[in-house]
Amino acid sequence: MEDFASDEKFDVALCVFTVLLYLLDDAALTNAAAAVHRSLKLGGRLLVDIPSRALFQGYSRSDHLIDRSVSVTQRSSDTYTYQENLAVNGPNSKVSKYQDTFSIKYWPQDAVISVFEGAGFVLDADVSNHFAGAGASYHLMKKAN
């Protein structure tokens, strides 16, 4: 997201599905906000979700098709290690396994909004009530300059 560049300008940008978690420091968040700003037309809108800290927890689920285990380990006050192990039962008792580990970061809502405002957006509306149960707050922002 922070490296996005396009000659085309857009009316709307979506920053959803926990994209912000993968931006690990202030520079990455600032660069991402600037990249979104550059990609929108004047008056263009951005829908951004800001995951709550409640999402930073592990879980496991297993049934006859999939065995999935996720652990989330806190490394510092706002950074975590995400680790996922997945086994999918296929035909002829063949099991396909997948494992991934990477870092994620919790961003406080006010910090995210402040960075996007600093990039030239204004907060249009908190639209979280349209996404009840998602585990995140949702904000509609507009490119102001």
Triad 65, 69, 74: Cα angle to 5°: 165
Domain boundaries, the chain: 10-53+106-143, 57-104
The DSSP secondary-structure symbol of 119 reads: T
CATH architecture of 57-104: Single Sheet (2.20)
Q: Per residue in 45-80, pLDDT tens? A: 999 999 999 999 999 999 999 999 999 999 999 999
Q: Per residue in 92-140, pLDDT tens? A: 889 999 999 999 999 999 999 999 999 999 999 999 999 888 789 999 9
CA 115 to chain centroid, in Å, comes to 15
Sorted by sequence, the CB contacts under 8 Å of residue 92 that are 6+ apart come out as none
Q: Is 40 helix (H, G, I), strand (E, B) or coil?
A: strand
Sorted by sequence, the CB contacts under 8 Å of residue 52 that are 6+ apart come out as 135, 136, 137
Strand order in the sheet with 10-15: 10-15, 40-51, 136-143, 121-126
CATH class of the region 10-53+106-143: alpha beta
Sorted by sequence, the CB contacts under 8 Å of residue 104 that are 6+ apart come out as 21, 22, 24, 56, 72, 79, 80, 81, 82
Confidence band of 91 (pLDDT split at 50, 70, 90): confident
Whole-angstrom distance, CA of residue 27 vs CA of residue 34: 10
